[in-house]
Structure 1
Amino acid sequence: MTGVNLAGVTKRFGDVQVIHGVDLVVEDGEFCVFVGPSGCGKSTLLRMIAGLEKTTAGHIAIGDRDVTDADPADRGVAMVFQTYALYPHMTVAENMGFGLKMTGHSKAEVAAKVAEASRILKLDDYLTRKPKALSGGQRQRVAIGRAIVRGPEVFLFDEPLSNLDAELRVEMRGEIARLHREIGATMIYVTHDQVEAMTLADKIVVLRKGVIEQVGAPLELYNNPDNRFVAGFIGSPAMNFVGGTVARAGVVTAPGFGVDVATDAALPGAGASVVLGLRPQHVQICAGNTHRVEMTEALGGVTYIHLTTATHEKLVVEVHDTPTAKLGTTVGIKIDATHALVFEDSTRGLRLR
Structure 2
Amino acid sequence: MSEVILKNAIKRYGDVQVIHGIDLEIAEGEFCVFVGPSGCGKSTLLRMVAGLEETTEGKIHIGPRDVTDMDPSERGVAMVFQTYALYPHMTVEENMGFGLKMNGVPKAEIAKKVKGASDVLKLDQYLKRKPKALSGGQRQRVAIGRAIVRGPEVFLFDEPLSNLDAELRVEMRVEIARLHQELGATMIYVTHDQVEAMTLADKIVVLRAGIIEQVGAPMQLYRDPDNKFVAGFIGSPAMNFVKGVVEGGEVAVAGLGASYPLKVQTPADGTAVEMGVRPEHLTLVRGGGDLTVDLTEALGGVSYAYLSTPTGERIIVEERGDDRVEEGDKVSLSFDIDRAMLFDAKTEMRIR
Q: TM-score, normalised by structure 1?
A: 0.98
Q: Who is 1:94 aligned against?
A: 94
Amino acid at match of 2:108: A
Q: Who is 1:61 aligned against?
A: 61
Q: Who is 1:150 aligned against?
A: 150
Q: Which runs of 5+ in 2 are unaligned?
A: none
After TM superposition, the structure 1 = structure 2 runs for residues 248-267 of structure 1, keeping only pairs within 5 Å, are 248-249=248-249, 251-267=250-266
After TM superposition, the structure 1 = structure 2 runs for residues 1-353 of structure 1, keeping only pairs within 5 Å, are 1-249=1-249, 251-286=250-285, 287-346=287-346, 348-353=347-352
Looking at structure 2, the residues matched to 256 and 64 of structure 1 have their Cα atoms a distance apart, in angstroms, of 55
Deviation at 1:126, TM superposition (A): 0.6
Deviation at 1:323, TM superposition (A): 4.7
Looking at structure 1, the residues matched to 295 and 12 of structure 2 have their Cα atoms a distance apart, in angstroms, of 43
Deviation at 1:324, TM superposition (A): 3.5
Amino acid at match of 1:261: Y
- 8 Å CA contact retained: 2:22, 2:212: yes
Amino acid at match of 2:284: I
Residue correspondences, number: 351
Looking at structure 2, the residues matched to 111 and 191 of structure 1 have their Cα atoms a distance apart, in angstroms, of 32
Looking at structure 2, the residues matched to 33 and 3 of structure 1 have their Cα atoms a distance apart, in angstroms, of 14
Give percent identity, aligned residues only.
66
Q: CA RMSD in A?
A: 0.9
Runs of 4+ in 1 over 6 A off after TM superposition: none
- 1:290-320 C-alpha deviation (Å, 9 max, x unpaired): 1111111111110000000011111000001
Q: Which runs of 5+ in 1 are unaligned?
A: none
Deviation at 1:237, TM superposition (A): 0.2
Looking at structure 1, the residues matched to 324 and 2 of structure 2 have their Cα atoms a distance apart, in angstroms, of 54
Q: TM-score, normalised by structure 2?
A: 0.98
Deviation at 1:337, TM superposition (A): 1.4
Deviation at 1:330, TM superposition (A): 2.0
Looking at structure 1, the residues matched to 100 and 329 of structure 2 have their Cα atoms a distance apart, in angstroms, of 65
Q: Which secondary structure state, in structure 1, belongs to the residue aligned with residue 230 of structure 2?
A: helix
- 8 Å CA contact retained: 1:278, 1:339: yes
- 8 Å CA contact retained: 1:243, 1:256: yes
- 1:126-170 C-alpha deviation (Å, 9 max, x unpaired): 101110111110000000000000000000000000000111000
Q: Which moved more, 1:126-135 or 1:262-271?
A: 262-271
Deviation at 1:263, TM superposition (A): 2.7
- 8 Å CA contact retained: 1:240, 1:278: yes
Looking at structure 2, the residues matched to 100 and 292 of structure 1 have their Cα atoms a distance apart, in angstroms, of 63
- 1:54-82 C-alpha deviation (Å, 9 max, x unpaired): 00100000001000010000000000000
- 8 Å CA contact retained: 1:257, 1:335: no
Amino acid at match of 2:322: T
Deviation at 1:328, TM superposition (A): 2.7
Q: Which secondary structure state, in structure 2, belongs to the residue aligned with residue 2 of structure 1?
A: coil
Deviation at 1:329, TM superposition (A): 3.0
